[in-house]
Amino acid sequence: MTTRIYTHEDCLDHQPGSGHPESPERLKAVLRVLRTPAFDAAEWRDAPMGTREQVLLIHTEDHVADVEDAAPVRGTMPLDGGDTVMSPGSLDAVMRCVGAACAGVDAVLDNEVHNVFCATRPCGHHAEPNKAMGFCIYNQAAIAAAYAYEMHKLERVAVIDFDVHHGNGTQAAFYDRPELFYASSHQSHFYPYSGLESETGTSHNIVNVPLPRGCDSALFREQIAAKMLPAIRDFNPELIIISAGFDAHHLDPLAGLKLQDDDYDWITRELMCIADDTCEGRIVSILEGGYSLEGLASATAVHVKALMDH
């Protein structure tokens, strides 16, 4: 079995406007590096269109209706005061994100492939059940976890998030759901100003690892090894979903952590070791943030290369 990469050209049609950090150029940079000979062994698939029923596994009917009603025929429409914007292609783009994530769950649980990387955009982990925010419209990682629980009847699904921003949306969706586990490392105190260690969920199914501005490789690995990895093992997941944000990279212009490419290789391999021990190696990784095109491309490359090295 191999690594499957899901993507779709519709994801380039989410265009929040000139100068917006979450631009189509991000995905283009990722696809350029993943389409080099080093990744020839990966299997590529078009991301299917997600369904409304899948979205409703996490999001409220009111939120879904608001998104559908806001989808413009021309121009742009802000959903949250300006950061999160819809263009005419945005609804199809986010539904491809949802479709890729759920198809990835199907693929690994049906033993078609060893693991999956979803090269899709926009990102999703800030989207709460009832609202869009932080560039995120729907929360595809949370949806994928709920989909695995509901449709594949798994009892324990983990989402692991190493984006530089805390995934407040995933935490909100999982807070009262002991079958769904969320662990996040993130810069603190920083947007969206959540993710304290004291935020543990009603069943201690939330693990937050806040990191100080300027955090380097050594501190990152120390904190992850001490606080996150043992908690994931204790949860004993049947599937691991990764919210793979690369904006903690030292080149990223929007944040202040100092991670190197090697750190993304390290954490990917650590999560793969846990997956091998708990869930037959089953991982679905989903692209989140990353706003230095150079840092995003290089970090994504080492992440996917590690996934392929099983």
Cis check: omega of the bond before 122, within 30 degrees of 0: yes
Q: Which residues pair with 244 in a beta bridge?
A: 287
| pLDDT tier for residue 310 given thresholds of 50, 70 and 90 | confident
Whether residue 166 has pLDDT greater than 90: yes
Q: Pick the closest to residue 208 from 187, 191, 222 (CA basis).
A: 187
Q: Compute the distance between CA of residue 310 and CA of residue 306 in angstroms, rounded to an integer.
A: 8
Q: How many CA atoms lie within 13 A of 56 on its CB side?
A: 9
User: pLDDT by residue (tens digit) across 248-258?
Assistant: 999 999 999 99
User: pLDDT by residue (tens digit) across 27-79?
Assistant: 999 999 999 999 999 999 999 999 999 999 999 999 999 999 999 999 999 99
Helix axes 140-151, 90-109, angle to 10 degrees: 40
Q: Which of 8, 59, 114, 126 is catalytic?
A: 126
| pLDDT tier for residue 119 given thresholds of 50, 70 and 90 | very high
Q: Indicate if 126 belongs to the active site.
A: yes
